[in-house]
Amino acid sequence: MPEIKVTPLGAGQDVGRSCILVSIGGKNVMLDCGMHMGFNDDRRFPDFSYITQQGRLTEFLDCVIISHFHLDHCGALPYMSEMVGYDGPIYMTHPTKAICPILLEDFRKITVDKKGETNFFTSQMIKDCMKKVVPLNLHQTVQVDDELEIKAYYAGHVLGAAMVQIKVGSESVVYTGDYNMTPDRHLGAAWIDKCRPDILISESTYATTIRDSKRCRERDFLKKVHETVERGGKVLIPVFALGRAQELCILLETFWERMNMKAPIYFSTGLTEKANHYYKLFITWTNQKIRKTFVQRNMFEFKHIKAFDRSYADNPGPMVVFATPGMLHAGQSLQIFKKWAGNEKNMIIMPGYCVQGTIGHKILNGQKKLEMENRQTLEVKLQVEYMSFSAHADAKGIMQLIRMAEPRNMLLVHGEAKKMEFLKDKIEQEFSINCFMPANGETTTVITNPSVPVDISLNLLKREMALGGPLPDPKKPRTMHGTLIMKDNSLRLVSPEQALKELGLNEHQLRFTCRVQLQDSHSDSDTLIRIYTHLKSLLKGYTIQHLPDGTVMVESIVIKVSSSAEEPNTKVLLLSWSYQDEDLGSFLSTLLKKGLPSGLSSI
Amino acid sequence: MAAHLKKRVYEEFSKVVQLPQEEAPAKKLRLTKPSKSAALHIDLCKASNPTDALQYLLHFARSSVEAESVEGVVRILLEHYYKEQDNSVRLKIASLIGLLSKTQNFNPETILDDTLNTFNTEKSHQILAQLLDTLLVIGTQLPESPTVRHRLIEVACKHLSDTYFGVRNKCLQLLGCLCNVDTPLNKDGQGLVPAVIGGGAPGVSGGVCVRDAQSVISDYFADQDPRVRTAAIKAMLQLHERGLKIQQTIYDQACRLLCDDYEQVRSAAVQMVWVLSQIYPESIVPIPSSNEQVRLVDDSFGKISHMVSDGSWVVRVQAAKTLGNMLQVSPHFLEQTLDKKLMSDLRRKRTAHERAKELYASGEFSSGRKWADDAPKEKVDTSAVNLIASGACGAFVHGLEDEMYEVRIAAVDALSALAQSSASFAEKCLDFLVDMFNDEIEEVRLQSIHVLRQISINITLREDQLDTVLAVLEDSSRDIREALHELLCFTNVSTKECIQLALLELLKNLTKYPTDRNSVWKCLKFLGCRHPTLVLPLVPELLSTHPYFHTPEPDMDDPAYIAVLVLVFNAAQSCPTMTALFSDHTFRHYTYLRDSLSHLVPPLRLPGRKQAPGVSGIEGSGSVESAQLFLQQSLSRISTIHNLQDPGAQDLLNFTIRDLQRLGELQTELAGAADFSATYLRCQLLLTKALQEKLWTMAVPLCLKDNAMATAAAKQMLEETYKLEFLYSGLENRQVATIHHVRLQAKALQLVLTARTRRGVEPLISVCEKFLQEVESFQRLFVVELPHLQESFVGKLLDVSPRLSACKPGELVKILQTTLRQSGFLNLQLPKQVQRASATIIEPTGESDNPLRFTSGLVVALDIDATLEHVQDPHNTVKVQVLYPDGQSHVIQPKPGDFRSPGPHRHRLITQVYLSHSAWTEACQIEVRLLLAYSSSRLCKAAWSDSSTESLQPAEGATEGTIPFGKPVKVFIMPKPARR
C-alpha cells in the first residue's frame, strides 16, 4: 500500500530544533532545519546521521523547505548544507531568504566570537548555503521535479512565514511551520484553502491555551505607556530584534500619530535597522492596513521612532525605548534598565517570555533587590509590566486551521508532549480523524489511498453515454466495461476491440458450457417448447427466441436438449454462453437445475 | 411525436418565409422617418464577412430605436440570425434582441414566438445562454401574461439539463424570475417534468408527478458546477423576493451548502439560510447527534455564526452582516456570540473584561502591575472544553478581530442592530465596542463610536469603561473627536467621579485642540442636562467656591471656564437647589453667557433676580404651541383676502410677512414653516404690486421700456418659486402644486409684459406655445390637486382652455391679463413639518487678514468645512461656488466622500477647493459660498440602451439652476507672479 512517512528529527514533542523528514510518493523532503536554544553541544542541531551515516545528504533528500527565519527553524541550515553536505534545492520565501542570513550571521558571531567556539560554520558557509536557496512566492506552485510540487501559503507568524503544501500525485502533506490565526498590527492571519491534505503537520505551542482578544492586550499596553509618559516617566521595552519588535513599533507609532504625542521613541540599533529595511520592502507580506496605505506612507518609515544613542538614556523628560535583547540578560537593554530602575515613575514592559535565571525573569517574579556583578545591589523601584505578544495560534486557532484545510490525518509537532495529548484527544473527538504526535526519531506511517488517474478513450465514453442513464454524477462511481492498458508508464482505458487492435492480438471467444440433467417425460422437442414457455414466463424483458434448428436462445445463451437413448426421460440440457453473459448464464443453469414446473403446458 | 415535430418545423419554416411580407409595417414607417430597420438591413446585407457584420451591429447598438420600429428591426435581425454561420454575430444578435425588447412602450410579446423559434435550431451553448437571457428580459417586461410565462418556463425547463453551465444558470434565473408565485409549476404535469428529472433520458419519471418550481430548483443545489449551484440559490432567493413561500425542506439542503468548497456558493447559502430563518423562526429542528431540539432561528443563527470564521472574507462579511438581521434569536444564543472561555495550560483564565469588571466591583483601581496578575486559577475539566466553538460561540469575538476591516465593520454594524433590540446584549457588547475604539483603521473606530452612540440609550457606562472611551478624546482626527463628543452627549454615567473624569478629559481636549470649542461646550451642555444630581455635589469644586473665603473671579473669556459653566448651568436647570451654591460673579457670568451663548445656556429661574421679559423661565414647551397657533392665525387671517386687488390687502400682506419673519427668528422650531409662508406671501405681494402698475392702464404703444418694476417683480417671483420648491423639505404634493401655480402666474405675467413691449406677432407665437405647454404639463402633473385650484388663476384658465389653444397670441395675452387680475388669492396650506435647508461655513472663518499666497497659474487648496441642515441628497445637490473679484466664478462639485452625516438631517461637508488665478498686484477677497443645485424634472432615462455613451438628456421643459444658500465667506488671496 502507498504510504507517507513522517519522522521528526527535532520538534517532535518538543519546542526548538524543528526538522521533520517526510517521505511521500517516493520523495524525501526535509521541512525546516533549526537549532535548539537550550543546548550548546551536539544536541543543538538535528541528528542528520539518521538520514545517512556517512557521505552527503544530497542523494537522500529531494528538497529542503524552510518555513520562516527564526533560528529554531533555520539555524542548522549552513551546518547541514555545508558541513554535512547537501547540494539540492532549499526553498524559502523571499523575505525569509533576505532576513535569514542576517540572523545566521548574528548567531555565528555570538557563538564563535563571543563564546569562542570552534568547528562552527563560517560566514562563507552561510553565503554558500544561501546560494542554494530557491525563493518561493505565495500560492505559487513550484515543481521541484516532475512529480514533486510545493506551494506556499501565508502563515502570519513573522514576516515571510509560510505554510507549505507538498504534493506528489494526489498525495499531499501540509506543514504549517509556526503560524498565527489572529491578525496583528503588521501581519495578517494565516490562511489556507480547502486542500484536504493526507497529513496536516501543525505546530502546537499553545495547545492548551485559549487567548484573550488582542485588542485588550493592545489597549492595556498603550494605556500603560501613555500614562507613564504623561507622568513624565520613561518606558523601557526589551525586545528581540525581529518580529514582535516591529509589531510594537507600529502599535506605538500609530498611537503617537493618533494621539498627537510628542515624547520621543527610540530604538536601539543593531540588526534592527537592516531588518526594518526588509520590512519596508516586503509590503505585500503585511496586513491589509499597511498594504493599503503604503502608497501614501510606508508604515515602517517611522516618523516618531528614532535611532537610540547611549547618551540619550540620561536625557530628562519622558521617552520610550525599545532595546535588545528581550530577556534583559545582557547588552543595551540591561544597561538602560540599571539606569532607570531606581525611579518609580519609570516603567519596564516585558513583551515576551523570559528564561529562568535572567534578570527579566527575576523582576517579573517581583524581586525588588537584584544582585549585580561586583556585589552591588540594585533596587528595583520602577514598575514592571508583563504583556504577552506572541504570534502562535492558540488551541482555537489550530482547530480553525484544521477546519479550513480538512486534512485526513493530523500530526502535531513543536509543542510539549503533555499539552499535545490534550489537543490530540480534542482533534480526534471533534473531527474524528487520526492524530499523531511522534517523538524525535519516531516514524509515523500513514497509509494513503491515492487515486490513480487513467485516460479513458473518448469512444468508450461516448458509447457509455449512448447507453443512456442520467448524466454522470461525479460523486457516484459507475461501472463500465473496458480494457486497462498499462504501457509506457501510462494507464489507459479503452474498449476491448481497440485494445486487441492496438496490441495486435486475435480475439478469443470464451464460452462456458454446462449440462443440466432434467427428468422430463416429454419428447425432446416438447421439452424444448416447455423450457421456452417457462423461461418466457419468468424472464420478462429479455429476448427469448425459439429457433427452428431446435435451440432456444436467451439473449446470446444457447439451450439445446438431447436425451440419451437408454433413459428417454432423462433429458440433458446443453447450455452455452459467452463470458460476457456470465451472470445470466449461471442464473439460467441454476434455474433449470431446479427442473420445470409440472403444471406447464407443452404448448 | 415525430410527425408533430415535423409539423412544427414546417411551421417555423413557413414563418421564416413569411418574414419579408411581415415587413410591411416597417415599410410604412419608412414613409415618415428614415427607418432604422431599413438602414440596418442594408448594412447587414452589405457585410461580407462576420467581422463586418459584427461591426455594423455594434454600431447599431449605440443608436436608439423608436418603439414602433422595434418589431421590424427584430425581424431583420432574426432573418440574419438564421443566415449567419458565425457564432459571435449570432450571439450579438441575440443580445441585441434582448436590448431592443427593453424599449419603452414596446410590447415584446410580438417577437416572443420568433425568439422562441430560434431555440430549435441553435446548437451553440453560449448562444443558447444569451437567448435565454433575452427571454428573461422579455419575461420581465411582461410580468402579467400567464401564457407567455408558461411558455418561457417550458423552454427553461427543457434546457435545464444542458451540459453547459451558462445555459443552466440562465434557465435557473429564468425560473426564479418567472415561476408562478401561487400555483405549482405545471398543472397538467407534463412538458417540463420529464426533462427535469430524467436529465434528457425519456421515460424515467413518466411525467406524472406535479413538481413545483422549488423542488426543481433545489435539485440544482447539488449540481456539479459551483456557478450553477450559486445560480440555483439565487433563483430561490428571487422566488422568495417575489413573494413565494419557500418550503422548510430546503433548510437542510441550504445548511449543507454552507460547507461548500466555493465561496460564492457559501455566501449565497448564508443568505438562503437567513431567509428561511425569517420565514420559519419558530419551527423546531433537531440537533444532530443528540436528542435535543432548538428553534430554527437559533439553529440558523448558530450556523451563520460559524461562518464568521470562514476561510473567505467575502463569506465572512456576508455572515457578519446577516447576523445583524436576526433579531428573533433567543437571548441565550445571542449572548454566546460574545462568549470566550480563556484557558492557559488547561486552567481557566479570566478575560481582561471580566478582570476589569471585578476590579471595579471590588472597589480597587486597576493595578495590573504584577506579572501573572492574570494568572490562571482553577483547573479546567479537559473533557468539558469545547475547542470548536459549536454554534454561535464567540462569533463576534472573531468578527471584531478579523483581518479585513470590511468584516470588522460588518460585525460592528451587526452588533449595533442586535444591541438596539436587546438591552442585556447591549450591556454585554459594550466592552467589545469600546475595544474597537482602538482599531487601526479610522473608519472602524468611527463606526464603533457611532454605534455606541446609537445603543447608549440602553446602557450606563462604568467608570473603567468611560476611562477607555475618554482616552480617544486625544485622537488627532477631528471626525473621531466630534463623534465622541456626540457620543458623550447621549451617554449615561453612573457616578459623580465619572462626570468629573469626563469634564477633566474634555478640558484636556479643549486645551490640546482649541478648535473643538463649540463641540466640547455642546457636549457638556448635554452632560449637564442628563446628570443634574451627579453634578450637584461637584459644584463647589467646579466653581472653586469656598464657604468662608472669596476666591478670585475667573476669567470670563477662558473657554475652559465657559465649559465648566455650561455644564453647571445646564445641570442647574432641573436642580433648583444648585443656584444657592453660586457666588455673585457666577450670576453675572450667567447673564452674560445667557445672552452671548443662548443656545448653550438655558434660562434659569434665579431667586431675587429680575427676569428679562423675553426669557421668562416658564416659556418651555407651551411657547412652541402658542407660536404654532400664531402662525395658523396669521395664515387664516390672510385667507380672508379673496382678491388681491382689494383695498387693504397689501397692507395685511406686508404686516403678516413681517410678523412671520420675526416669528421665524424667535422660534427656531417653526423657522422653516414661517419662512416658507413669508416667501410665499411675498410672491403674492409682488404679483399684486406688479399688476397695479400704471402701465396696464396705458395704451400699448405708449408704454415703452418703462415697466422695469413689473419685469423685475416677475423675475423675482420666478426665483422665489424655485427657492420655495427646492430649499424646503417636507413639502407635500399640495404645496408643490401651489408653488407651481405661482410660477405659472409669474410666467403669465412675463408673457403679458413681453407682449406689451414688443411689436409684432412673430416672436410671441413661440412664447405662447411654450406657455400653453406648461399649462398642459401642470394639468398633467397635478390632476389630483386641481379641485383645490378651482377659483385660482389656473382654474380659471382651464375653464377657457378650449379657447386658449385655438386663439391667436394677441387674444391669449388679453385672456391672461384679465385672468391674472381677476383670479383669487390661493390659500397656502402648511404641511406638518417644513424645514429650510441651511448651510453654515465654519471654515474658513473669513476673519483672517493674512492673505493666502500662491504663485499665479498654480493652484492652492482651500479647506472648507461646512454644516448643512435639512439638505436632501447633498452628494448630488450641494456645490461650492468661488467668486473672484473680477467676476469670474467657478462651481466645484465636492466628492461624495467629503460628506459625512453626523446626525439625522445633518451633513457635514469637509472638502478642499482648488483656487487659481493670474497674478494680482495686491491681496483681494474672493467669495466662497455654497449652492444648492436643482432640476425641476426627474431625468428620463432611455431604457433601451444602458450604455453610458448616450448623454442623458433631461426632459423638455426642465429647468436647472442653483440657489445660493448660507452666508458667503470672504477669503483673502494673493496670487503672486512666478519668479523667473
Question: Mind listing the pLDDT tens digit for each residue in B828-865?
Answer: 777 777 888 888 888 787 777 788 888 888 888 888 88
* Phi-psi domain of A468 (left: phi exceeds 0; alpha: psi -120 through 50; beta: other): left
d(CA B38, CA A176): 68
- Residue A45 sits at φ, ψ, to 5 deg, of -105, 155
For A2, counting Cβ atoms within 10 Å of its Cβ (0-12 exposed, 13-18 middle, 19+ buried), the class is middle
| CB spacing of B343 vs A474 below 8 angstroms | no
| CB spacing of A471 vs B161 below 8 angstroms | yes
Answer whether A217 touches B (CB < 8 Å). Answer: yes
- Give pLDDT, residue B234: 93
Between A319 and B688, whose confidence is greater? Answer: A319
Residues A298-310 have a mean pLDDT of: 86
Quick one: what percent of chain B has pLDDT higher than 70? 80
- Three-state SS for B459? coil
Interface test with A, best of B308, B312, B388 (most A CBs within 10 A): B388
A203 flagged as catalytic:
yes
- Give pLDDT, residue B620: 45
Element (H, E) at B516: none
Residues B243, B185: contact at Cβ < 8 Å?
no
Q: Kindly name the residue from A59, A147, A149, A203 that is annotated as catalytic.
A: A203
Which residues does chain B have within 8 Å of residue A211's beta carbon, measured at their own beta carbons? 342
Interface test with A, best of B438, B442, B444 (most A CBs within 10 A): B438
Residue B11 has pLDDT above 60, yes or no: no
In angstroms, the Cα distances linking B790 to B691, B741, B785, B809, B827 are 21, 12, 10, 24, 12
Residue B391 has pLDDT above 80, yes or no: no
Our CA-based measurement puts residue A380 at a distance from the nearest CA of chain B, in whole angstroms, of: 13
Question: What is the residue whose three cell numbers read 568547528?
Answer: A119
What confidence tier does A524 reach under pLDDT thresholds 50, 70, 90? confident
Residue A21 has pLDDT above 90, yes or no: yes
> Residue B441, Cα to own-chain centre: how many angstroms?
25
Cell of B437: 475604539
Quick one: what percent of chain B has pLDDT higher than 90? 7
| CB spacing of B405 vs A288 below 8 angstroms | yes
In angstroms, the Cα distances linking A316 to A264, A267, A380 are 11, 17, 19
| CB spacing of B382 vs A425 below 8 angstroms | yes
Most confident of B20-24, B173-177, B350-354, B816-820: B173-177
Which residues does chain B have within 8 Å of residue A425's beta carbon, measured at their own beta carbons? 382
Residues A101, A75: contact at Cβ < 8 Å?
no
Choice among A48-62, A158-172, A538-552, B788-802 with the minimum mean pLDDT: B788-802
Question: Which of residues 172 through 191 in chain A touch B, CB cutoff 8 A?
Answer: 182-183, 185, 188-189, 191
- Give pLDDT, residue B368: 39
Question: Mind listing the pLDDT tens digit for each residue in B235-290?
Answer: 999 989 888 888 888 898 899 899 888 999 999 999 999 999 999 988 888 877 67
- Give pLDDT, residue B187: 41
Question: What is the residue whose three cell numbers read 524552510?
Answer: A66
Residue environment code for B193-217, b if the CB has 16+ CB neighbours within 10 A, otherwise e: bbbbbbebeeeebebeeebbbbbbb
What confidence tier does B607 reach under pLDDT thresholds 50, 70, 90? low
Residues A40, A17: contact at Cβ < 8 Å?
no
Interface test with B, best of A179, A191, A193, A215 (most B CBs within 10 A): A215
Answer whether A361 touches B (CB < 8 Å). Answer: no
- Give pLDDT, residue A133: 95
| CB spacing of B224 vs A192 below 8 angstroms | no
Which residues does chain B have within 8 Å of residue A426's beta carbon, measured at their own beta carbons? 385, 387
Which residues does chain B have within 8 Å of residue A222's beta carbon, measured at their own beta carbons? 438
d(CA B561, CA B511): 12
Contact residues for B736 (Cβ-Cβ < 8 A; gap 6+): B725, B782
- Give pLDDT, residue B614: 43
Which of A223, A403, A426 lies closest to B471 in CB terms? A223
Contact residues for A28 (Cβ-Cβ < 8 A; gap 6+): A21, A22, A60, A61, A62
| CB spacing of A383 vs B369 below 8 angstroms | yes
What confidence tier does B766 reach under pLDDT thresholds 50, 70, 90? confident
Residues B721, B683: contact at Cβ < 8 Å?
yes
Our CA-based measurement puts residue B849 at a distance from the nearest CA of chain A, in whole angstroms, of: 28
- Three-state SS for B182? coil
Question: Mind listing the pLDDT tens digit for each residue in B577-604?
Answer: 888 888 888 888 888 888 888 888 888 8
- Give pLDDT, residue B949: 36
For B933, counting Cβ atoms within 10 Å of its Cβ (0-12 exposed, 13-18 middle, 19+ buried), the class is middle
Which residues does chain B have within 8 Å of residue A400's beta carbon, measured at their own beta carbons? 309
Answer whether A220 touches B (CB < 8 Å). Answer: yes
Residue A269 has pLDDT above 90, yes or no: no
Task: Please report how the helices B463-471 and B496-512 are oriented relative to each other, as an axis angle in degrees rounded to 10.
Answer: 10
Interface test with B, best of A180, A254, A258 (most B CBs within 10 A): A258
A370 has which bridge partners?
A378
d(CA B321, CA B304): 10
Residues A124-134 have a mean pLDDT of: 94
Interface pTM, i.e. ipTM: 0.80
- Give pLDDT, residue A136: 93
Residue B460 has pLDDT above 90, yes or no: no
Question: Mind listing the pLDDT tens digit for each residue in A441-455?
Answer: 999 999 998 888 888
Residue A159 has pLDDT above 60, yes or no: yes
What confidence tier does A207 reach under pLDDT thresholds 50, 70, 90? confident
Please report, to the nearest 10 degrees, the dihedral formed by the alpha carbons of residues B890, B894, B900, B904 taken in order.
60
Which residues does chain A have within 8 Å of residue B435's beta carbon, measured at their own beta carbons? 213, 215-216, 219
d(CA B652, CA A342): 86
Answer whether A461 touches B (CB < 8 Å). Answer: no
Between B66 and A99, whose confidence is greater? Answer: A99
Query: Closest residue of A to B406, CA-based?
Result: A288
What confidence tier does B15 reach under pLDDT thresholds 50, 70, 90? very low
Question: Mind listing the pLDDT tens digit for each residue in B940-972?
Answer: 333 333 333 333 333 344 456 788 888 888 888
Question: Mind listing the pLDDT tens digit for each residue in A334-371?
Answer: 888 888 988 889 999 888 767 677 788 888 888 888 88
Which of B344, B353, B388 lies closest to A209 in CB terms? B344
- Give pLDDT, residue B951: 37
- Give pLDDT, residue B385: 59
Bond prior to B603 in cis (omega within 30° of 0): no
Q: What is the mean pLDDT of chain B?
A: 77
For B791, counting Cβ atoms within 10 Å of its Cβ (0-12 exposed, 13-18 middle, 19+ buried), the class is middle
Residues B444-468 have a mean pLDDT of: 84
Query: Closest residue of A to B513, CA-based?
Result: A260
In angstroms, the Cα distances linking B649 to B82, B688, B816 are 77, 9, 22
- Give pLDDT, residue B705: 54
Question: Mind listing the pLDDT tens digit for each residue in B782-825?
Answer: 877 777 777 777 777 777 777 777 777 777 778 888 887 777 67
Which residues does chain A have within 8 Å of residue B200's beta carbon, measured at their own beta carbons? 471
| CB spacing of B401 vs A215 below 8 angstroms | yes
Which parts of B668-761 fold into alpha helices (H)? 671-691, 708-727, 733-757
- Residue B349 sits at φ, ψ, to 5 deg, of -130, 150
Most confident of A434-443, B13-22, B186-195, B571-580: A434-443
What confidence tier does B973 reach under pLDDT thresholds 50, 70, 90? confident
Contact residues for A17 (Cβ-Cβ < 8 A; gap 6+): A9, A10, A11, A34, A35, A36, A43, A44, A45, A46, A72, A75, A76
Between B253 and B203, whose confidence is greater? Answer: B253
Q: How many CB pairs under 8 A join A and B?
A: 128
Among A454, A452, A444, A453, CA closest to A24: A444
Choice among A485-489, A535-539, B45-49 with the minimum mean pLDDT: B45-49
d(CA B772, CA B795): 14
Residue B380 has pLDDT above 70, yes or no: no
Our CA-based measurement puts residue A187 at a distance from the nearest CA of chain B, in whole angstroms, of: 9
| CB spacing of A260 vs B346 below 8 angstroms | no
Cell of A102: 542576517
- As a three-state string, the secondary structure of B64-91 is CCCHHHHHHHHHHHHHHHHHCCCHHHHH
For B826, counting Cβ atoms within 10 Å of its Cβ (0-12 exposed, 13-18 middle, 19+ buried), the class is buried
Residues A570, A564: contact at Cβ < 8 Å?
yes
What confidence tier does B694 reach under pLDDT thresholds 50, 70, 90? low
* Phi-psi domain of A530 (left: phi exceeds 0; alpha: psi -120 through 50; beta: other): alpha
Which residues does chain A have within 8 Å of residue B516's beta carbon, measured at their own beta carbons? none
Question: Mind listing the pLDDT tens digit for each residue in B552-574?
Answer: 888 888 889 999 999 999 998 88
Which residues does chain B have within 8 Å of residue A361's beta carbon, measured at their own beta carbons? none
Tally the residues of chain B: 980
Between B181 and B364, whose confidence is greater? Answer: B181
- Give pLDDT, residue B28: 39
Our CA-based measurement puts residue A222 at a distance from the nearest CA of chain B, in whole angstroms, of: 10
